[in-house]
Amino acid sequence: MKKIYYFPGLISAIAMPLIFWYYGNLKFEEINLNVIDIGLPAKLSKDRGNLNFTFEPLRNLDYKKIKVQPKQAKENSSLYVSEIKKLKERNKQRTGIEFILNENNTYGDFISIFNDLYITKSEEYALDLEKTGHLFVIQRYIPPVVEECLLCNDTIATFADSEADSRGYTKFTEILALLPKEAFFIIFGFLFLVNISMLSIKERFQLRY
């Protein structure tokens, strides 16, 4: 039996999946969109009952104002990153940066600033849609770490150096070696009389009580 090979069909079976994969991947990249989740401050109620959940308590901080020129946020990205890092290094209470935006700024400007916040790992920010439309970066004050003093209010005892003690003992023996022999008899006699006196006082004390 003669075998028949159908080469065009074989080529199609191999090539068609590769073609679909290539063009399908290009189409996926076109429609693949990135999403940014932004938490907006609550709108202040008339009775001001939700004040702590709004931007109002942070509105009057000491903000450094930076005007974002339309369509130039990406070009000025290095400047914005530098300013945010300086804010973190200063670490002062109730400070921040106010990025001034207006109706002429584009979506690209807005996203570029958010990318700068991501680079500097800034997690404290707010978009004021209620009044100004500006983006505020807030510096959360980090108290300095105070190292515990392990020796404070403690009593420190110092011990004499053993080498110093040996030097003192050597000096004392040298002084004794320079004394004449008569001095030793006087010292021995004095110690003997002291011992007799102590025994006599002890006997009188026992007899009386």
More confident residue, 80 or 180: 80
The domains of the chain are located at 38-175
Query: Minimal CA–CA distance to 94: which of 55, 138, 43?
Result: 138
Q: Which residues, including other chains, have CB under 8 Å from residue 129's CB and lie 6 or more apart?
A: 40
Query: Minimal CA–CA distance to 113: which of 57, 157, 172, 69?
Result: 69
Is the pTM of the predicted complex or chain greater than 0.85? Answer: no
- Distances 41 to 2, 52, 84 between C-alpha atoms, Å: 79, 10, 21
What is the structure's pLDDT at 6? 46
CA quadruple 43, 108, 115, 85: dihedral sign: negative
What is the structure's pLDDT at 169? 63
Token look-up 């609550």 returns 42
What are 48-107's pLDDT values in tens digits? 888 888 889 999 999 999 999 999 999 999 999 999 999 999 999 999 999 999 999 999
Question: Quick count: other Cβ atoms within 10 Å of Cβ 58?
Answer: 16
Token look-up 């003992």 returns 169
